[in-house]
Amino acid sequence: MNTLTFPPTFQWGVATSAYQIEGAAQEGGRGPSIWDTYSHIPGKVVHGDTGDVACDHYHRLETDLDLIQSLGVDAYRFSIAWPRVQPLGQGAWNEEGLAFYDRLVDGLRARGIAPHVTLYHWDLPQALQDQGGWESRDTAVHFAEYARVMGLRLGERVASICTHNEPWCTAVLGNEQGRFAPGIQDTRVMLRVAHHLLLSHGLALQAMRAAGVSTPLGIVLNQSPATPATNSPADRALAEREYAQFVRWYMDPLFLKQYPQGPDLPVCDVVQAGDMDTIAQPMDFLGINYYMRLWCSAATPPLPAPNAMGVSEMGWEVYPHGLYELLCQIHRDYTLPPIFITENGFAGADTVVDGRVVDTPRIDYMRTHLQALQAAMAAGVNVQGFFYWSLMDNFEWDSGYDKRFGLFHVDYATQTRTAKDSAHWYHGLIAAHRHG
């Protein structure tokens, strides 16, 4: 641990999202989201799991706030369920839902923890999906109004507001691969969705700023460097293409006002005059979620990744150096605002034995990724904080409750939270920084 030294102003945090922890899916006036619909379709989620109850966080807010505080973190990143505050995604607001987030924000502040808000972590109101979802430009307009209202309601009490979490996942997993809600498999739709997500981000920043919201505003992107499996032209071309579709498809519009272009790259058919200017609003911060690299082999069958440092329960290669590579690359390619690592985490086969969860691989994952982060900062990348994903085990989308990312183990039968060894390790790391 003593090899990890971060500046005294560095923000240590943990992250969650609404659908993954809240539960209370039909309570407090909440409307249905696309994940309620999707998770209830047989065969879509492992074991037929849904977010109906999840971690029951909605009912356990106060004790969960104490849990967060027990880690000694500076910051907590959470998302607002749009259908909880505006059940149809347009029109009437739900005061009971708004009051829940008031309590969350005020409870964090009372404990000395800075709230970091995400407006969209994939739970689109079903009523908007019924009108075309993100394929429709109107959804971007509704999102900007939602952002304006939330910015006015919470802005003065929170440390940051980010528009979208991982738009690549919404676009590609939800609308091209059909693995996530709403379960569409159509590349043309995916491209339209990606564009309207980016447009909605720009419109939301404009709307919040025009309303006088002075909170730091940004977006969160999942990013990975792309490694060609060999030095062959085919592998290198594949790596370039995958990087363009995964990273540059979002970064270039946001920072260079254009989509990547090339013979192998698709073209989006809904871009209107002025859209790229709208998308490229100045940002106060950029959130990066890093889990693994893109391993690119054009061979049939593909050459396997080396997996020298193992794989997580998700089957994801553990590759901490990729965080360093990625941060240095985007630092070279763009003029960036301050960066936060808004997610980084490990899914392990965690079990409680005699009240303890020994999760050494997670501690190794955190330590090695923080070392890579430290190296990137030493190389000049401006990173101001790190949020571990996740505070506690939760609903891992199409993997249901099978995959455990948390610092706290959750027994879903009893809703008992148990601190894993990694929670104690993280607490110690933060305390060591605090006390110099």
Q: Are residues 88 and 47 in contact, defined by beta-carbon separation less than 8 angstroms?
A: no
- Say how far apart CA 71 and CA 152 lie, in whole Å: 30
Q: Which is nearer to ligand IFM, 46 or 237 (CB)?
A: 46
Q: How far is CA 143 from CA 7, 16, 136, 383, in A?
A: 36, 21, 12, 28
Q: How far is the CB of 379 from ligand IFM (least distance, A)?
A: 25
Binding site for ligand IFM (CB under 6 A): 17, 20, 166, 289, 343, 389, 396, 405
Residue from 22, 135, 176, 343 carrying the catalytic annotation: 343
- Say how far apart CA 52 and CA 100 lie, in whole Å: 17
- Say how far apart CA 144 and CA 208 lie, in whole Å: 8
- Say how far apart CA 329 and CA 370 lie, in whole Å: 18
Q: Which is nearer to ligand IFM, 76 or 405 (CB)?
A: 405
Q: How far is the CB of 124 from ligand IFM (least distance, A)?
A: 14
Q: Which is nearer to ligand IFM, 340 or 405 (CB)?
A: 405
Q: How far is the CB of 9 from ligand IFM (least distance, A)?
A: 26
3-state secondary structure 360-408: HHHHHHHHHHHHHHHHHHHCCCCEEEEEEECCECCCCHHHHHHCECCCE
DSSP state of 302: P
Q: What is the DSSP annotation of 5-55?
A: ---TTPEEEEE--HHHH---TTSTTPPPBHHHHHHTSTTSSGGG--TTTTT
Q: At what angle do helices 249-256 and 187-210 cross, to 10 degrees?
A: 40
Among this protein's residues, is 166 annotated catalytic? yes
Q: How far is the CB of 402 from ligand IFM (least distance, A)?
A: 12
Class of residue 418 by CB neighbours under 10 A (exposed 0-12, middle 13-18, buried 19+): middle
Q: Which is nearer to ligand IFM, 20 or 139 (CB)?
A: 20
What is the sign, positive or negative, of the torsion defined by CA atoms of 13, 18, 22, 23?
negative
At a CB cut-off of 8 Å and minimum separation 6, what does 216 contact? 159, 160, 161, 284, 285
Residue from 135, 166, 176, 240 carrying the catalytic annotation: 166
Q: Which is nearer to ligand IFM, 170 or 281 (CB)?
A: 170
Determine how many CB atoms are found less than 10 A away from the CB of residue 91.
10
232: preceding bond cis by omega (within 30 degrees): no
Among this protein's residues, is 242 annotated catalytic? no
Name the phi and psi angles at 328, rounded to 5.
Answer: -65, -40
Q: Which is nearer to ligand IFM, 11 or 17 (CB)?
A: 17
- Say how far apart CA 167 and CA 246 lie, in whole Å: 10
Q: Which is nearer to ligand IFM, 259 or 401 (CB)?
A: 401
Q: Which is nearer to ligand IFM, 240 or 396 (CB)?
A: 396
What is the sign, positive or negative, of the torsion defined by CA atoms of 414, 14, 85, 398?
negative
Q: How far is the CB of 389 from ligand IFM (least distance, A)?
A: 5
Q: How far is the CB of 397 from ligand IFM (least distance, A)?
A: 6
Q: How far is the CB of 414 from ligand IFM (least distance, A)?
A: 22
Beta bridge partners of 116: 77, 160
Q: How far is the CB of 335 from ligand IFM (least distance, A)?
A: 26
> If DSSP codes are grouped into helix, strand and coil, which group holds residue 321?
helix
Active site residues: 166, 343
